[in-house]
Amino acid sequence: GIYAFDFTNEIGKIYNSVDLAIARAGALSLAELETKKIPSILIPLPSAAENHQFYNALELKEKNVAVIIEQKDLDPVILKDTTLKMLKNIDKIKENFSSTIHANSAKNIAGTIMNYLS
């Protein structure tokens, strides 16, 4: 089934039971998705400072574990088609995580912490 929800403190439990995530592209969210090896459809927040969410998402797209849909291009048909295409190829997409390096996850988390501190 498909479940939609806002922020939750139970995200760890949810990540353990999903095949695909549709999410914004904040550094911490992407670090969690990469660590849990969850393929993703990423919709960067267009108002994020210096468009950083788009560039965060681009890192996972370049690893072939995520697709980016910019909010201005988002519509139900595109989201449905992208979701179905990714689910059809989910096992192949998950294999791409074996080549990812989690050093970027640590860098993203550290960068986010530094932004909050400054």
**What are the structural domain ranges in the chain?**
11-117
Structure tokens belonging to residue 2: 């498909």
Residue 101, pLDDT > 80, answer no
**Beta carbons within 10 angstroms of residue 21's beta carbon:** 19
Over residues 2-26, mean pLDDT: 88
Specify the CATH architecture of the domain 11-117. 3-Layer(aba) Sandwich (3.40)
Structure tokens belonging to residue 81: 């088609």
The model's pTM is 0.81
CA dist 79 and 75 (Å) reads 6
Predicted confidence (pLDDT) per residue in 39-85, tens digit: 999 999 999 999 999 999 999 999 999 999 999 999 999 999 999 99
**Beta carbons within 10 angstroms of residue 86's beta carbon:** 20
* Whole-number Cα distances in Å, 73 to 7, 77, 78, 102, 109: 24, 11, 8, 30, 28
Please report which confidence band the pLDDT of residue 114 belongs to, taking 50, 70 and 90 as the band edges: confident
Please report which confidence band the pLDDT of residue 103 belongs to, taking 50, 70 and 90 as the band edges: low
Do the Cβ atoms of 60 and 42 come closer than 8 Å?
yes
Do the Cβ atoms of 38 and 20 come closer than 8 Å?
yes
